Amino acid sequence: MATSQQTASDKLLQQVDELGTAITKIIDTPNATLSEAQELISALLEESRVSIEELRVADEELREQNEELMISRDVVEGQRRHYHDLFNLAPVGYLLTDNQGVIRENNQAAATLLNVQVNYLVGKPLAIFVPQEHRKSFRHWLNEFNSTDSVRVWETYFQPRHSIETRDILLTVAHVHDEAGEQKDIRFRWLLYDITDRKKAEAVEREQYFHETFERAAVGIAHADRNGHYLRVNHKMCEMLGYTREELLQLNMFDITAPDDVHQSREILRQLVSQKLETVSVENRYRRKDGSIIWVHLTASSVDDAKGNYAYSINVLNDITESKRLAAAEHEQRTLAEAVRKTAAILTSTLNLEEVLDRIVETIA
């Protein structure tokens, strides 16, 4: 529309020039008649009037176009402010980086999470906020991500500036494709969620769950170190052996094992500590505080530390004394029944009293 207005303006200027030229020509021509001059001037004035009208129409159209352009500009500016507010006031950390993880843009939440001023982060590599022991894996992960085109979700650790504590961070990272208006070197969008408090709450919940399970278990449970000293015992184990918790924590497993089974217990522990066995199940005899002996079914498993070395063993003790007693009684009953059956067979097999008595004594023995 601006081109139409320019065309109308150029046309009008040309006509004005022609009109001026015509008037000059009439003045300079002594033989020109008045009627000829009037006709020429009238024609030029009519053309000029039409050009002026065209120019007015073009001007009105240009004004409408300018108004529409201003409205569009206001909409774009409103959208820009809206994006800026969303970016800067978002409750989670938001970063834009290049493909090496160098920060090009960040919001206030990201600066707060990393304990810096909002304008400090631009130009800094994100890796400087990763603890030293995790930095190599972070860079390896970033290099791998450069060769993919998918959104990645990853948990890692960040260490805020001037802080000795690390924070558990959940990262959501996506590639930036060549969008209009984006800086050419921006490659990744990062969302940073601080999940430290959630992790701590989950750990407390797990610890509470473990504690309830440990204490309310229907079997005895104990943790023992590499020397057999008890680190933790539950209520059922105390009840089973007749000791208080404090008393058992002053003992080791060999103090309460029946003497005949101590060697077996030491061998089991040795193989767990040396990692020749991960889990073992045996029947063992334990001595209660009152001196009585109970039978238990023992299942012992080794637990390793973060470096893969033996940390402690988990010992699960199920009291099988009553089962053993019932099995012995049943065996005795079967033995007696067999002796009676054999005696009856002897009585009917011969009439020699001396032979019968000898065989009965042999059966009883």
pLDDT digits over 6-37, tens only? 565 566 566 566 666 666 666 666 665 667 66
The string of pLDDT tens digits covering residues 275-294 is: 888 999 999 999 999 999 99
Structure tokens that stand for 121 in this block: 């982060």
- DSSP-derived letter for residue 91 is S
Rounded Cα distance, 56 and 302, in Å: 95
Structure tokens that stand for 156 in this block: 């890692």
Is residue 335, in this structure, part of any structural domain at all?
yes
Residue 220 makes CB contacts below 8 A (sequence gap 6+) with 233, 234, 236, 237, 240, 241, 296, 315, 316, 317, 318, 319
Same domain, 180 and 106: yes
Rounded Cα distance, 112 and 101, in Å: 19
Is residue 149, in this structure, part of any structural domain at all?
yes
Same domain, 348 and 315: no
Same domain, 245 and 310: yes
Is residue 210, in this structure, part of any structural domain at all?
no
Same domain, 104 and 121: yes
Q: Which residue has the higher pLDDT, 305 or 77?
A: 305
Domain that holds residue 115: 91-198
Same domain, 113 and 77: no
The string of pLDDT tens digits covering residues 325-337 is: 877 677 777 777 6
Same domain, 296 and 256: yes
Same domain, 342 and 266: no
Please answer whether residues 211 and 204 qualify as being in contact, where contact means their C-beta atoms are separated by less than 8 angstroms. no
Same domain, 314 and 267: yes
What is the DSSP track for 177-224?
P--TT--TT--EEEEEEE-HHHHHHHHHHHHHHHHHHHHH-SSEEEEE
Task: Kindly state the greatest CA–CA separation across the chain.
Answer: 186
Same domain, 221 and 313: yes
Rounded Cα distance, 201 and 234, in Å: 24
Residue 107 makes CB contacts below 8 A (sequence gap 6+) with 87, 88, 89, 90, 93, 94, 95, 118
Closest CA to 221 of 305, 319, 288: 319
Evaluate if residue 76 carries a pLDDT over 60: yes
- Assessment of whether the complete model's pTM goes beyond 0.75: no
For 123, the 3-state DSSP assignment is coil
Q: Over the Cα atoms of the chain, what is R_g?
A: 49
Same domain, 302 and 330: no
Cα 144–chain centre separation: 18
Is residue 206, in this structure, part of any structural domain at all?
no
pLDDT at position 14 = 65
* Number of domains observed in the structure of the chain: 4
Among 142, 163, 198, residue at a domain's last position: 198
Please answer whether residues 230 and 224 qualify as being in contact, where contact means their C-beta atoms are separated by less than 8 angstroms. yes
User: Which segment of 173-182, 229-238, 286-295 scores lowest on mean pLDDT?
Assistant: 173-182
Element (H, E) at 340: helix 321-347
pLDDT at position 225 = 94
Among 41, 63, 86, residue at a domain's last position: 86
CATH code of the domain in which 279 resides: 3.30.450.20
Structure tokens that stand for 31 in this block: 């033989």
Evaluate if residue 261 carries a pLDDT over 50: yes
Phi, psi values for residue 26, rounded to 5°: -65, -45
Same domain, 186 and 97: yes
Is residue 209, in this structure, part of any structural domain at all?
no
Which range has highest mean pLDDT (17-21, 49-53, 163-167, 346-350)? 163-167
Please answer whether residues 298 and 316 qualify as being in contact, where contact means their C-beta atoms are separated by less than 8 angstroms. yes
pLDDT at position 347 = 56
Is residue 239, in this structure, part of any structural domain at all?
yes
Is residue 133, in this structure, part of any structural domain at all?
yes
Same domain, 47 and 140: no
Among 55, 86, 117, residue at a domain's last position: 86
Is residue 174, in this structure, part of any structural domain at all?
yes
